[in-house]
Structure 1
Amino acid sequence: MSEEGRDRFEIPKEMRSIAEASVDQARKAFEKFVTSVQQTAGSIEERGATVRAGAKDVSAKAISYAEKNVQASLDFAENLLHAKDLSEVMRLHSEYVQSQMRSLAEQASEMGQIVSKAAMEAAKPKI
């Protein structure tokens, strides 16, 4: 077997079609999930003035992070479907993991700031 033959692999067309349809279904299911979460968050946010403001910020950020992270995962899965060889799969995986680690660190920092701000606002004495 040639060097190129060993490093190259192909996903059969039928498997690729099934996988692409699965990714598409996952995207649609996630969009429905996000809509439900947003509706639920909206109803929770209607409970108290100060808490509502903090909860709105926290839930909006959490939803934003969830959307971003799931979108990145779906994009990664889609990119894997089009990988031409094992080295491309490894490169895509490495890039995805590095990007997600950066995103998660940024998200944790931002969420900590938002939660702290919301807690301080909620703890302020009412005059």
Structure 2
Amino acid sequence: MMKAPETFEVPEQVRDMAEKGVDQARKAYEEFLAAAGEAAAKAEGSAQTMRDGAADLNKKAISATEESMNASFELASKLVKAKDMQEAIELQTKYVQSQMQRFGEVAREFGESATKAAADATKKD
């Protein structure tokens, strides 16, 4: 005769521990998802801030380039009309001085904008 398989019952304490373990794991997973979502949102915000800062720098660069090219064309027009070499040298000297001064201003503006963009990106974190 074949023997009936013995029934195996899980003790109530073991079930309770297992259920608590599953609940704790679920809670930890939900907390992980929430933290990951917050981190992703912060990273996205920082990236957008940096993109905005880069766009501002691009606009400044284009504006500075346009300004410089206009000054170069203005110099060329004046040089064509110069009466002698002395006047041409004076025009060229003034042009170089003004361009160097403007270059310093543009470099300072770029530095300030880059610093602001970095500060804004870290402030949002």
3-state SS, counterpart of residue 66 of structure 2: helix
Spell out the pairing of 1:36-55 with structure 2 (5 A cutoff): 48-55=47-54
Other-structure match for 2:95: 96
Partner Cα distance (2:121, 2:69) in 1: 31
Spell out the pairing of 1:1-127 with structure 2 (5 A cutoff): 48-126=47-125
* Deviation (angstroms), 1:121: 1.6
* Deviation (angstroms), 1:52: 2.2
Rg larger in 1 or in 2? 2
Other-structure match for 1:34: none
Partner Cα distance (2:54, 2:117) in 1: 7
Q: List gaps (5 residues or longer) in structure 1.
A: 1-47
Q: List gaps (5 residues or longer) in structure 2.
A: 1-46
1:97-126 per-residue CA deviation (whole Å, 9 max, x = no partner) reads 111111011111111101111112223343
The residue type equivalent to 1:111 in the other structure is F
Partner Cα distance (1:125, 1:115) in 2: 16
Partner Cα distance (2:113, 2:124) in 1: 19
Partner Cα distance (1:125, 1:95) in 2: 45
The residue type equivalent to 1:119 in the other structure is A
Identity of aligned residues (%): 43
| Deviation beyond 3 Å, 4+ runs, structure 1 | none
TM, length-normalised to structure 1: 0.57
Partner Cα distance (1:125, 1:106) in 2: 29
TM, length-normalised to structure 2: 0.58
